[in-house]
Amino acid sequence: MASLSYSIYGQGTPVVFLHGFCESKEIWQEFLAPLGNNFQSIVVDLPGFGKSTSNTNYQSVDVMAEEVHLLLQELSVPKSIIIAHSLGGYVALALAEKYPESITGLGLFHSTAYSDTEERKQGRNKTAEAIKQNGMPEFLENFIPGLFYKERQTELQETITAVYKLTSHTPAPTAIAATLAMRDRPDRTHVLRNSNYPVLFIAGKNDNAIVFESAREQFYLPNHSIVQALSDTAHMGMFEKPAETRAMIKSFVEICQDL
């Protein structure tokens, strides 16, 4: 039995929202109203995050994906559109790899099917060690602003502070384990090549976490690919370009619903 915290809004075609590293289901709050009652929006706290801290099944993205699958089984949701940010995208790709028949649309929100480069893996190791040595508050003080486009950080300072507060409840063991899980995830570009459902990519042109130029080749892999590239945007498009990204998600789920 899955032990994940979740909330359900509306009725209709199921849309599952998966958050990113150190985030929680709260980041999707403003995305739900535009979907109205035409969709059943299911927002989930991944293992160890948000209100799912009793669930410690976060040793790998595959294990996290299995927890999401168990939850959807319990909710009697055999098929759904998945919208996933960053780490959530890695989980969604693992879910799509093992249970392709359960996916009717996949939205990768600042995420990638590529595995980490060796340089990136070393960076993950440093992150895990920094959290272990210095704790979460010091880590997040440096980490959160860097997720936003540098030229807009002053303008978005209030939002950055709010995101810091949102992420500050993440337990250190969860953050460390999730960091290593991201480091060790395999390449899943074959999932995109084999997809028989629409795939949406929302990418920030100024993203330092998922570098646009390095990730753009994956845009051409799915049979049905929709690409939204955001200028003056780094890794947090839902906060950097809120109105635009809400419209993108709404349009995408409507496309998936009509297929």
Letter for the amino acid at 221? L
SS3 111: coil
Give the C-alpha separation, 259 to 254, whole Å: 9
For the chain, percent of residues with pLDDT exceeding 90 = 97
Instruction: Tell me what pLDDT residue 157 has.
Output: 97
DSSP codes of every residue in 144-183: TGGGS-GGGTTTTHHHHHHHHHHHTT--HHHHHHHHHHHH
First-to-last CA distance in the chain? 32
Residue 10 pLDDT > 80: yes
pLDDT digits (tens, 9 = 90+) for 150-200: 999 999 999 999 999 999 999 999 999 999 999 999 999 999 999 999 999
Instruction: Report the pLDDT value the prediction gives residue 7, as an integer from 0 to 100.
Output: 97
Report the alpha-carbon distance of residue 222 to residue 2 in Å, rounded.
31
**Residue ranges per structural domain of the chain:** 6-115+186-258
80-114 per-residue burial string, b: 16 or more CB within 10 A, e: under 16: bbbbbbbbbbbbbbbbbbebeebbbbbbbbbbbbb
Could you report the per-residue pLDDT of 37-86, keeping only the tens digit for each? 899 999 999 999 999 999 999 999 999 999 999 999 999 999 999 999 99
Q: Which fold has domain 6-115+186-258?
A: Rossmann fold (3.40.50)
* Residues 6 or more apart in contact with residue 6 via CB below 8 angstroms: 25, 42, 43, 44, 45, 71, 75
Both tokens of 75, joined, read: 């909710």
Give the model confidence (pLDDT) of 88-139 as tens digits: 999 999 999 999 999 999 999 999 999 999 999 999 999 999 999 999 999 9
> What's the pLDDT score for residue 160?
98
The pTM for the full model equals 0.97
């590293």: which residue's tokens?
Answer: 21
Q: How confident is the model at residue 2 (pLDDT cuts 50, 70, 90)?
A: low
Beta partners for residue 16, in sequence order = 42, 82
Decide: residue 195, CB within 10 A, 0-12 exposed, 13-18 middle, 19+ buried. Answer: buried
- Name the amino acid, one letter, at 120: R
